[in-house]
Homo-oligomer: A and B are copies of this chain.
């Protein structure tokens, strides 16, 4: 015979509360309702659950063993409620994000770290990809959110885009670089250093030529290409190489003193870094939470960048 788990919970509540009336309050039901529920349970079980004619209701041994299970059930039910609440407030769950490697490594990774500090039960699933892969993965439902530089005009149909940071590229080098230590230098000097090119196919790669062209440099030597941010920084630290990086990336690395920006005004790309997602997909709470978190982080970051950048890089 199957016993309704609810009834077992009520049983446990009565016993733990020390009385039918108190138990009724504990499960927020009326006293008669609980009384009748017990009576029906007894009838179905064909056994008494409380000794007859005792006013401080005394449970039988059967009742006690059933209440044991009732407690377990109440506990599980409570846990379920909590995890549902957690989930729908975005405090647990999974957010699957993907983005361009340089940004993910140079900017987002830091934010993920602090996000995880605040919401440790949210699992972040991070992968890499450029625009084409991102739209593909979003459509396939493999990721929830893309993060990449997009020119607002080129957002594909069916996708939503929320800009976070305007694109500002800078010429980056190691802090120990000869040019970084000069207060002033000629643009022509720049061209003589070896260049690190971002991974082929990345938006940065095309930015590189455009940016240098904008300051009259068309001829330069590429000494290293295709690496991740980590390898770019390593190469840069051990050489006199230059490269073009988003200022946000340089800024985020500034505390580690591995990279700095030269005070050269480049032509900035039309693109803005932002979120990309399919607008026809429901947004899971954890994703929503993560998005909001990054948005506020980026707002702070954007201010800092604007101030520091104006002072140190495009002061010209």
Interface residues of A (CB under 8 A from B): 1-6, 8-9, 45-48, 52, 60-62, 65-66, 69-70, 72-73, 76-77, 79-81, 83-85, 87-88, 92-94, 282, 284-285
Q: Is the interface of A mostly helix, strand, loop or mixed?
A: helix
CB within 8 A of A76: which of B2, B69, B282? B69
Q: Is the CB of A45 within 8 A of B5?
A: no
Contact between A76 and B5, CB atoms less than 8 A apart? yes
The answer to whether A69 and B62 touch (CB under 8 A), given A84-B1, A84-B3, A84-B45, is no
Most buried by B among A5, A46, A80, A85: A80
Give CA–CA (A4, B83) in the complex, Å: 14
Query: A5 contacts which chain B residues (CB < 8 A)?
Result: 5-6, 9, 73, 76-77
In whole angstroms, what is the CA distance A9 to B77 when docked?
Answer: 10
Shortest distance from the beta carbon of A38 to any chain B beta carbon, whole Å: 14
Does A2 contact B77, Cβ atoms closer than 8 Å? yes
Please, which residues of chain B bring their CB within 8 A of the CB of A72? 72-73, 76
Residue of B nearest to A5 (CB): B5
- Interchain CB contact under 8 A, B61 and A94: yes
Contact B3 A81, beta carbon cutoff 8 Å: yes
Could you write out 26 A-B pairs with CB less than 8 Å apart? A3-B84, A4-B6, A4-B77, A5-B5, A5-B6, A5-B73, A8-B76, A47-B87, A61-B93, A61-B94, A62-B83, A62-B93, A65-B87, A65-B92, A66-B80, A66-B83, A69-B76, A69-B79, A69-B80, A70-B76, A72-B72, A72-B73, A72-B76, A73-B73, A73-B76, A76-B76
